[in-house]
Amino acid sequence: MALYQLLCGSAVMIILLSNGCHSKQQQACGRAVNNPRIVGGQDAAAGTWPWIASLQIDEDHNCGGSLISDTWVLTAAHCIPEFPRNMTVVLGRESMTGKNLNEVSRVVDKIITHPDYDALSNDNDMALLKLSSPVKFTDYIQPVCLASADSTFYTGDNNWVVGFGTTS
């Protein structure tokens, strides 16, 4: 149920933000240049999900997020510590071990947590992270598409959830 609330809340936040966070570079959003899918718990190839972000605290992975423009990442509010410090976002990463050739990192400059976020119920569990400087879009770093205000979502449409987790 909490995952359902998180996904629904994230979708609402994306729709609400779609008119205000578009970047000049965003005409190619949601198009992964390298696109073999994770199927059956297998690792994804580099660039398969170029909008996935690793939120790190003191250089340790804490949570995932989605790049929504060249300076903004959408994540869950429960990922934000009470006293945030040393927070960075890593983009273009394919593995949590070792250095990844295509990755870039940015310091988190600003955190905007949904004003009605409730940590007990996880209602409105979303936050925006402003990066310290814009990222350059590459084959491995692209924004996810934001739904327009007139988008229609149909029952049975396929959706994917991605993240940095174990595959078995």
Domain 53-131, CATH number (from 2.40.10.10, 2.40.10.220, 2.160.10.10, 3.20.190.10): 2.40.10.10
Per the CB < 8 A criterion, the answer to whether 70 and 86 are in contact is: no
Give the start-to-end residue ranges of the domains of the chain. Answer: 53-131
Q: What is the pLDDT of residues 56-87, one digit of tens each?
A: 998 888 999 999 999 999 999 999 988 878 89
- Give the phi and the psi of residue 122 in degrees, each rounded to 5: 65, 20
Mean pLDDT (the chain, rounded)? 79
Q: At 41, is the pLDDT very low, low, confident or very high (cuts 50, 70, 90)?
A: low
Tokens of 8: 């629904």
Q: What is the pLDDT at residue 40?
A: 56
CB neighbours of 74 closer than 8 A, spacing ≥ 6?
10, 13, 14, 17, 65, 66, 68, 126, 127, 128, 129
Average pLDDT value for residue range 5-21: 44
What is the C-alpha separation between 8 and 76, in angstroms, rounded?
Answer: 12
